[in-house]
Amino acid sequence: MIPVKGFEGKTVAVLGLGRSGLATVTALQAGGADVLVWDDSPNADEKANDIGATLRDLTKQGAFTDVASLITSPGIAHLYPEPHPAIARAMAEGCPVDNDIGLFFQSFATQEWDNFSTMPKVIAVTGSNGKSTTSALIHHILEEAGRPTQLAGNIGRGVLDIEEAHDGEVVVLELSSYQTDLARALTPDVAVFTNLSPDHLDRHAGHGGYFAAKRRLFAEGGPDRAVIGVDEFEGQYIANQMSGGPGDDRVIRVSSGQKLSGAGWNVFARKGFLSETRKGRQVGSIDLRQIAGLPGAHNHQNACAAYAACRALGIGPRVIEQALHSFKGLPHRSQLIAEKNGVRFVNDSKATNVDSAAKALAAFDKVRWICGGLEKEGGLDALLPAPTVVKAYVIGREAGVFAMKLKGLDVEVCGDMATAVAKAAADAQSGETVLLAPAAASFDQYDSFEKRGEDFVMQVSALE
């Protein structure tokens, strides 16, 4: 646990008692703060009693008279489409609002660091797609290289729930736009931007607000090194803003699909090969085609970003290459579940938006595509014509409506996962892939994309 500094003897309020909220309460108490809590759930009083905190309705006038700061959980809206009433009340009464990410960067360094021979570092990863895989891959490479490391944030443990730093340790954080948008402190040593595609637009009042939330990690974080995917203009913009000129190696540009050139530091993948160039010369190369845990161009981009972040820490190319081959991938992200009669079954339930689903489809030939769910803003046109799709099997409460938008494809409305898996498996021929890549949120039928993926795995396991 990271005890929160700066609030000893002060009263701090915590909004939301989920995973991050509970860890925040414990960390604040360890730092000597008196903690108030508020949660909209019916059993909030029971949760407060369990953690030794005082329950206070933070939506009422005067609730923040004696409060030094309000710490809110990332899933709670703080600005758009409208702020939670407790956050609106805090702002009206002049109480600073922060989140656990801000507290982490405020509290991570301690006096004990004066005795370390190698200063701990923080790598923070953000972007629309691939940030979980990239974060986990960086963590895996560090472990394989013998570096002490912890993985936290939007993946794994809450940032305040990790252990205090060790000599030479590297903490890898996956950060969502919800987390970067509000954090009052953002000071990573290495910041990584994977890519940008439309997502969470309601929480950021559109694409520009969404990009602005991601950009804060760089513009306000001031990292020593910035690893930036430049396949979209937004990434090119951040790289330009962070760079002092063509040869500035504080910026490592990353691409999947295009060759990067110039005097700077570049890492790119083309036709399955990763290349690293510096000052116009190639200094590293890896064949990614046979790495089972990283299939497809989108995973090659993840590999490039992870490679670049680890190279920024001085880890050698051959060490990284060896670690890539032992990476097993993450559940629900291009996860090979089974192979039956020459048919592969792949779980990419995390492909909750159009861009991530399109990349998943492009990673395989002859796809029996299971899709559907709670459609996000922007429509499905960007997925089409989907040349690798043999047939689509649509699930979800509005499966019929979703299916009508997949123009030009052979489509069957299935409704539920069991029906979709059974029909896709019955139709599939040897050499084809049954792929769950929903291109939609899960909340119409499941509590999370993980639950949806687990259902897919269960249905595949039940096949004869």
pLDDT along the chain (464 residues), means of 10: 96 93 95 95 87 94 97 94 96 97 95 92 95 96 97 90 95 96 96 89 90 94 95 96 92 94 94 94 93 88 97 97 92 89 94 90 94 90 94 97 96 98 97 97 94 97 90
68 and 184 in contact (C-beta within 8 Å)?
A: no
pLDDT of residue 184: 95
Known binding residue 131? Answer is: yes
What's the CATH number for 335-461? 3.90.190.20
What residue ranges of the chain are covered by domains with CATH 3.40.1190.10? 111-326
pLDDT of residue 451: 96
pLDDT of residue 246: 86
pLDDT of residue 41: 86
pLDDT of residue 19: 85
pLDDT of residue 336: 87
Distance of CA 407 to the CA centre of its chain: 30
Phi (first) and psi of residue 68, to 5 degrees: -80, -30
How many Å apart are CA 10 and CA 85, to the nearest integer?
Answer: 23
Known binding residue 352? Answer is: no
Q: What is the pLDDT of residues 400-456, one digit of tens each?
A: 999 999 999 999 999 999 999 999 999 999 999 999 999 999 999 999 999 999 999
Q: What is the pLDDT of residues 253-266, one digit of tens each?
A: 999 989 999 889 99
What residue ranges of the chain are covered by domains with CATH 3.40.50.720? 11-98
User: Which residues, other chains included, contact 321 with Cβ-Cβ below 8 Å and sequence gap of 6+?
Assistant: 286
Other Cβ atoms closer than 10 A to 134: 31
Which contiguous run of DSSP H or E holds residue 449?
helix 449-461
Known binding residue 372? Answer is: no
> Per DSSP, which regions of 91-195 are E strands?
97-98, 121-126, 149-153, 170-174, 190-193
Structure tokens at 306: 């992870």
What residue ranges of the chain are covered by domains with CATH 3.90.190.20? 335-461
Torsion-angle region of residue 8: left (phi > 0), alpha (psi -120 to 50) or beta?
beta
> What b/e string do you get for 200-220 counting C-beta neighbours within 10 Å, with b at 16 or more?
bbebbeebebbbbbbbbbbee
Closest CA to 372 of 450, 439, 454, 449: 439
Known binding residue 9? Answer is: no
- Fold held by 111-326: UDP-N-acetylmuramoyl-L-alanine:D-glutamate ligase (3.40.1190)
What's the CATH number for 11-98? 3.40.50.720
pLDDT of residue 297: 86
Known binding residue 132? Answer is: yes
pLDDT of residue 378: 79
Known binding residue 128? Answer is: yes
Residue linked to tokens 């949760």 = 47
How many Å apart are CA 408 and CA 201, to the nearest integer?
Answer: 28
Other Cβ atoms closer than 10 A to 189: 18
301 and 130 in contact (C-beta within 8 Å)?
A: yes
How many Å apart are CA 23 and CA 162, to the nearest integer?
Answer: 10
The DSSP-derived string for 288-320 is -TT-TTS-HHHHHHHHHHHHHHHHHTT--HHHH
pLDDT of residue 308: 98
Closest CA to 228 of 108, 119, 142, 219: 219
Phi (first) and psi of residue 387, to 5 degrees: -65, -20
pLDDT of residue 43: 87
Known binding residue 255? Answer is: no
